[in-house]
Amino acid sequence: MKMTGKPEATWRMPNQLASMISELRHLVREKTFRAGEQIYAQGEPSNSFYFVVSGLVQISIFRIDGVEIVLEKMGPDTICGEATAFAGLPSFSSAVATEPTTVLEFEARRLPDLFREHPEFALILLRLTSLKQRVLALRLEQMVSNKPEERVLELLTRLGEMFGTRHAKGNMVRTRLTHEMIAAMTGVSRVTVTRTLKRMRESGTLYLDDGYFVISPAHAERLDVG
Amino acid sequence: MKMTGKPEATWRMPNQLASMISELRHLVREKTFRAGEQIYAQGEPSNSFYFVVSGLVQISIFRIDGVEIVLEKMGPDTICGEATAFAGLPSFSSAVATEPTTVLEFEARRLPDLFREHPEFALILLRLTSLKQRVLALRLEQMVSNKPEERVLELLTRLGEMFGTRHAKGNMVRTRLTHEMIAAMTGVSRVTVTRTLKRMRESGTLYLDDGYFVISPAHAERLDVG
DNA sequence: CGCTGACAGTATCCGGCGATACAGCGCCGA
DNA sequence: TCGGCGCTGTATCGCCGGATACTGTCAGCG
């Protein structure tokens, strides 16, 4: 199951999908976005979902108080917006290209015809939405706790599973994350992120190498049961 | 879009699905569970998902520290376990029948054949998983905040949208919920739930009638944007 | 070479939630 | 009728995260 990724991305998908997508060019329209442009907006319904070809797309929820919660940063070979397109309800999140980005736009209403010919495509989509559901549930599991260490560790562990590489001290997370980004993704304040990371380094849970996080193996298996 | 429900359930689905399910009897196996019996267990992979015919199924996540987080209580005409069956990964949650329950067991591996004949069934499943994803994301949005009022209000508002009935003072939530259950679903302590509900009653956000919660209209539209 | 801005680290203070303990209350069954 | 139990309401206390403000550091760039 080879995967692709981007340094700042927080999500990746099996290449299997990317190859399948290429068979479906007749269904899609290519679109390009400049850095800062919005792909879809929170609160608006949509019939399309998007496959990121290149670039980086930030998925976030804006709370009523204006606080932005970053759900994911989707790199190449990932899809987004599918939940909105399938559920037929206003989007719960918005997507903004944080750098020049090219996407393929799929229209959900064309899917029934497609499924007749390619039932395996339906299974792939089901698998993808189920994976997202799973990750959201696991994030929720950590979020109910107000302990910042759990919140941060959940994020880093997940990224470690997705992008991790072997390292003498454990699992190295190959995603560049500022403390502020971690704060936006975990819902704790930036100051607390700094404090927490320090604590974790002192307790041996975490290790820093060249600006990358390394998670000690003793803590990395934490999510395997879920 | 008619729906059915149970007094203690926290989820419901369009009847459209129930009628569709009846066409698929040849694919399924009926199973019954006594109160307290487990339908599937957290941590174990599974190829099956379940359609609840009658009874009540509690979906929860057990954290490493033993704390139980209740995700939903699924009543009749709902499905559960589909994310695990589709993703092919260990289940992030466990399902326990809290009263005598009958379910239909679907096997995910038979789906491709089914989709070829009934592509619309794939769309329905996609819609259901997308709805769950949406609800999880919205719950996450509230969970990042540590304010108990937001957490509790998110739950009640959602139940109000699903089960709400007109009431002089606003939207009445027709789901029986103990403070303890709210605590297990929102991740705040039982004591804080009591405190918070009192505050909300005093501020006019919430109203109590015959043991049911009534949400003032001014606060009920809060989630409409998401 | 120094300016600037983004990011990381740290201190102080306050508010509020969790833990714990206990009292009131209503329902149900012996 | 009484006792037990599950649920709600409330008090006390300790702890810790958010807000705020400030400093230090490094990179990029004129």
Which class does domain A148-219 fall in? mainly alpha
Residue A133 is nearest to which of B136, B224, B225, comparing CB atoms? Answer: B136
Using left for φ > 0, alpha for ψ between -120 and 50, and beta otherwise, residue B204 falls in: left
Measured CA to CA in angstroms, residue B76 lies from A176, B7, B13, B53, B212 at distances of 46, 11, 9, 5, 21
Backbone angles phi, psi at A125, to 5 degrees: -65, -40
Domain edges within chain B: 17-144, 148-219
Fold agreement (B17-144, B148-219): no
Q: Global pTM?
A: 0.91
Q: What is the per-residue pLDDT for A2? A: 38
* Dihedral sign computed on CA atoms, order B7, B208, B139, A41: positive
Q: Which token pair is A133?
A: 């559901």
Q: Which residue is nearest to nucleotide C18 (CA to C1')?
A: B189
Q: What is the per-residue pLDDT for B211? A: 85
Backbone angles phi, psi at A169, to 5 degrees: -95, 0
What is the per-residue pLDDT across B23-59, written as a single tens digit (0 to 9) for each? 777 778 999 999 899 999 999 999 999 999 999 999 9
Return the percentage of chain A with pLDDT > 70, whole number: 93
Element (H, E) at A88: none
Which class does domain B17-144 fall in? mainly beta
The residue of B136, B145, B150, B161 whose CB has the most chain A CBs within 10 angstroms, and thus the best one to mutate to test that interface, is B136
Chain A window 45-104, residues with Cβ within 7 A of nucleic strand D: none
3-state secondary structure of B150: helix
What is the per-residue pLDDT across B67-126, written as a single tens digit (0 to 9) for each? 899 999 999 889 999 999 999 999 999 999 999 999 999 998 888 888 888 888 888 899
Q: Give dist(CA A134, CA A138) in Å, integer.
A: 6
Minimum CA–CA partner of A125 in chain B: B126
- Of residues A185 and A168, more confidence is placed in A185
Question: Which DSSP state fits B180?
Answer: H
Q: What is the per-residue pLDDT for B219? A: 58
C1' (D10) to CA (B132) span, angstroms: 37
Minimum CA–CA partner of B80 in chain A: A130
Q: Which token pair is A171?
A: 């699992």
HSE-up (13 A, CA, CB side) for residue B213:
29
pLDDT level of residue B140 (50, 70, 90 thresholds) = very high
Q: What is the per-residue pLDDT for B24? A: 79
Q: What is the per-residue pLDDT for B224? A: 38
What is the per-residue pLDDT across B163-203, written as a single tens digit (0 to 9) for each? 888 888 889 998 999 999 999 999 999 999 999 999 999 99
Nucleic strand D under 7 Å from the C-beta of B202 = no
